[in-house]
Amino acid sequence: MSFSLNEVEATAKRAARGAGYDWGLAEEASKATRWLCAQGLDGAAVLAGLLEGGFAANLPAHVPQNLSGSWQADALLCPLATGAALSDCAMRLQQAPQAMGPIAQPAFILPFAALAARRLGACVTIEGEGFQAVTDGSVLQVEGTLPDTAASLTIRAEGSLPASAPLATRAEPEEAGWAVLNRFAHKTYAPATEESRLLGAGAGLSDND
């Protein structure tokens, strides 16, 4: 399957909203998914994994309880809410690294780290067990394998990147993840009513034959 990045962004936004996130975080989810796809990663699969976790049903349990020290929550951190906080606190990375975890779908922290990198005008490095990622806001380099869950992450305002490579202009998500997004997106559609069915039928109750 191949989709334009605009299609991915629109579907991701509807899916996040259908999963219960408010419009603000749904917008963040859509832009983050698009950014990952532009970097050649399957952002749709990452979002699908997050939405199936059901974090939106009790989001307060999945957001950092205190923004000083290591960021933790009562349960797994939601990367959308945590990523938004990281972007807001970008300037802190100039003084010290930021630790957080455990966190679900750590790949979703990467787009927010990219926002932080753009604000700082410097590379940002994200490290977790088995992987390291570096971004300058536009380019991403990942070494290792991004897990579904990370016990801890450390984000630093440092790193370097090789010469930039062209970004992807289309996404090729795996079928299973894309189906999950469409399932959640479908929840945002208004159910059909008798009136809408009649209007959709064209002739309604009249018979002109």
**Is residue 19 classed as helix, strand or coil in its secondary structure?**
coil
What is the number of alpha carbons within 13 Å of residue 18 lying toward its C-beta?
22
Is-cis flag, bond preceding 102, omega within 30? yes
pLDDT band at 166 (very low <50, low <70, confident <90, very high): confident
pLDDT tier at 189 (50, 70, 90 boundaries)? Answer: confident
E strand segments, 63-128:
98-100, 103-104, 124-128
pLDDT mean over 125-149? 96
Lowest-confidence pick of 31-40, 108-117, 155-164? 155-164
Residue 185: which H helix or E strand, with range? helix 175-186
Number of residues that this document lists for the chain: 209
Mean pLDDT of all residues in the chain?
91
Residue 107 has pLDDT above 50, yes or no: yes
**Furthest-apart CA pair in the chain: how many Å?**
77
Give the model's pLDDT for residue 201.
46
Between residues 122 and 206, which one has the greater pLDDT? 122
Please indicate whether residue 153 or residue 190 has the higher confidence score (pLDDT): 153
Q: pLDDT band at 164, cuts 50/70/90? A: confident
Section 7-24 average pLDDT: 97
* pLDDT score recorded for residue 194: 52
